[in-house]
Structure 1
Amino acid sequence: MSTQTNRLHSTVTHALLLVFVVLAIGPILVVIMNSFKTTEGIFSGPFLPPNADTFNLAGYENVFKRGEFFLNYQNSLIVTLATVVVTIVFATLAAYALTEYKVRITPLLSGFFIIGIMLPIRLGTVPILQTMISWGIIDTLLALVLVYTAMSLPLAVALMMTYFRSVPNELKEAARVDGAGEFRTLGITLPLVRPGLAAVASITMLPVWNDLWFPLILAPSRENQTVTLGVQQFVGQFQSDYPALLAALTLGAVPLIVLFTVFSRQFIQGLSAGYGK
C-alpha cells in the first residue's frame, strides 16, 4: 500500500511540475513561434505553428533594418563580460581577506556587505547619476560596468566567503611553510572554490544582461544601448507591426534563455552548496 501511495505522490508531483513547466515555457514558445508569421497568421491562429501560408521573416528583416541589434548585442556582451570579470576578481580578493585575516574591523566590513545585499542599489539612482556626471563618464559603457559591479559585489563576497571558510587551514599553512606568499596561497585555494566562482559568474551575468533601469538612465544613446533597452525602444516605436514586435521580443529573450540554460546548473549548485556550508 505504501508503495502505491508513493507512486501516486510521485505521479501527482511530476504532473504538477509538468504543468508549471508548460505555464513557464508556453508563452515564450508562443512569442517565438508567432515571430515567424505574417500578421494575418498571428491573429488567425496564434497557438498554431507557422505553415507554408503564414511563414514570414519580414518581422526579423524590419528589426535588423530599423534597429541596431548587432550593436546592442555587442554592448551587452561587453558590459556583461567586463562586470563578471571585475566582480569575480574583487569578490575573490575581498572574501579571501575577510576570511583569512582576523582583525577588529572584519565583522564590521562583513556587515557592510550583508547590508549591501538587503538594500537595492536603485534607491541610490540620483546620487549615482550625479557621480557619473561629475566623473565625466555619463552615457558610457564604463558607467554601467561600475554600477553593475557595485551591485553584484555584496552577494558575490558573501558567497565566496562561505567557500573560503571550507578550505582546510592545513593546506594554506603548508603552502606558507613552503615559502608561498599570500597571492600564491590564494592561487592554491582557487581550485577548491571553483563552484563558488561559477556561482558568482552566473548570479552576476543574468541580472546584468536583463537590466533595463540603469541602461535607460546612464547610457541611453543609440551607440551605447544594450539589448534590453534596444528592444524596449523598438517595441515602443513599432507597436502596430506585430511580426517585428514579436521578432524584437524574441531577439531580446533568446540570449537570456540560453544563458540561464547553460549556467542554471552552476547557479543552483553553487548557491545551494555555498549557503549550505
Structure 2
Amino acid sequence: MANRTSPVSAAAIHAVLLGYTIIALFPIVLVLFNAFKSRKAIFSQPLMPPTADSFSLIGFDTVLTRSNFGLYFGNSLTVTLVTLFLVVFLGAMAAWALSEYSFRGSATLAVYLAIGIMIPIRLGTVSILQLVVWLGLNDTVWSLILVYTAMGLPLSIFILSEFMRQIPSELKDSARCDGVGEYRIFFRIILPLVRPALATVAVFTMVPIWNDLWFPLILAPSEGARTITLGVQQFVGQYVTDWNAVLASLTLAIIPVLVLYAFFSRQLISGLTSGAVKG
C-alpha cells in the first residue's frame, strides 16, 4: 500500500511553502506598489498599495522621456537572447558529445567543466578585462555576450548531459539502423526529448544575466552599451536618489523575466522534477 501523507503533515508542508512564497514575492509586490505612487507616498506609506490620492506615473515619465531606457532595454535583451541561444545550442551539442561518445580526454573535460561551475567567474575579472581590451571589444555588448556564454556553458552542459544519458540507447540505435544520420538524430530526436532540460537551462541562464551589474559596469560602461541594470544607476546619486524613476525602471525590468518564466514554466517544472518520481 502506498504511503499517504497525513493531513497535519500536508498542512505543515503547505504552510511552509506558502510562507516561502510570501517572502519571495514580497519585494516584487513592494516594488510594484511604490512604482505607481508619488515620492511622498513612497516614504509615508511604503507598504500600502497606491490609492487615488497617492497614484502617480511620474517615475515612468522620467524613465521613458529623460533617459535612454529603450537603448538600455534593447542592449539587455540583445545580450540575453544571443547568450541564451549560444548557451543552449552549444551546450546541447557539447552535452551530446560527452554523453554519447567515448573519446580520449572526455573524463578530463568533464572535470574541467565541473571546475567551471564551482569557481566563480568574477575571480578572473582582471584577466577577462585585459582579454576584452586586447580583442578590442571593450564597451560593446559582444564582450558581455562572450563572458556570459562562458559563464553559462559549464552548468548547461552538466544539466543537459545528465538528461541525455537517460534517453534509451535502443531509441538511438534503432534510428541508426534505419539510416538516420547523427545530426538528424540530434536535432529530430534528442532535442525534442530534452525540452524540459533546455527550459531549465534557459531560465537558470537568463536570470543572472538580466540582473547582473558587475560585468556591465566593468566591461561595457559607456552610454551606447549600457544594460538596463546599469542604466538604472543614473537615478541613484550620492546625495539625492530619484526613487520614483528607480522603482519604475525595476518594474519595467521585471517584465521580461515574468514573460520568460510564463513561457517556460511547464517545461521548467518538468525539468526540475524529472527523475524525482519513479514508476
Q: TM-score, normalised by structure 1?
A: 0.89
Which amino acid is the alignment partner of residue 44 of structure 1? S
1:172-191 matches, cutoff 5 A: 172-187=172-187, 188-191=189-192
CA distance in 2, matches of 1:240, 1:135: 37
> Corresponding residue for 1:34?
34
Change (3 A) 1:108 1:257: same
Whichever residue aligns with residue 246 of structure 1, its letter is L
CA deviations on 1:193-246 (whole Å, 9 max, x unpaired) are 222222221211111111111111111111111111111333337844332232
The answer as to 2:255 corresponding to 1:266 is: no
| Alignment partner of 1:243 is 2:244 | yes
CA RMSD of aligned residues (A): 2.4
Structure 1: which amino acid aligns with 2:31?
V
Distance 1:42 1:14 in 2: 33
Q: Distance in 1 between matches of 2:255 and 2:14?
A: 26
2:214 match: 213
Change in Cα spacing, 1:14 to 1:276, as seen in structure 2 (3 Å) is closer
User: Could you report, residue by residue, the CA deviation over 1:83-102 in whole angstroms, capped at 9, with x for unpaired residues?
Assistant: 11111111111111112221
1:98 aligns with 2:98: yes
Match of 2:217, as an amino acid? L
| Offset at residue 104 of structure 1 (A) | 2.4
Counting only pairs closer than 5 Å after superposition, residues 1-277 of structure 1 correspond to structure 2 as 6-187=6-187, 188-236=189-237, 239-273=240-274
Residue 79 of structure 1 deviates from its aligned partner by 0.7
Farther-moved stretch of structure 1 (90-99 vs 33-42) = 33-42
Question: What are structure 2's unaligned runs of at least 5 residues?
Answer: none
Asked if the contact 1:238/1:245 (under 8 Å) is kept, the reply is no
Question: Cα offset for 1:173?
Answer: 1.9
What displacement does 1:275 show? 8.9
Q: Which stretches of structure 1, 4 residues or more, deviate above 6 A after TM superposition?
A: 274-277
C-alpha change, 1:228 and 1:266, in structure 2 (3 Å) is: farther
1:164-216 Cα shifts (integer Å, max 9, x gaps) = 11122222222222222221221232222222222221211111111111111
Kept in 1, the 8 Å contact 2:211–2:229? The answer is: yes
Deviations 1:91-131 (A, max 9, x none): 11111111222122111111111111111111111111111
Quickly say closer, same or farther: Cα 1:11–1:63, change in 2 above 3 A.
same
Instruction: From the superposition, tell whether residues 161 and 38 of structure 1 become closer, same or farther in structure 2 (CA, over 3 Å).
Output: same
Distance (Å, rounded) in 1 between the aligned partners of 2:167 and 2:12: 42
- Structure 1 residues 262, 237: closer, same or farther in 2, change over 3 A? farther
Paired with 1:219 and 1:104, the residues of 2 have a C-alpha distance of: 39
Contact 2:140 2:220 in 1 (8 A): yes
Between the aligned partners of 2:48 and 2:177, the Cα distance in structure 1 is 69
* Separation in 1, partners of 2:237, 2:255: 20
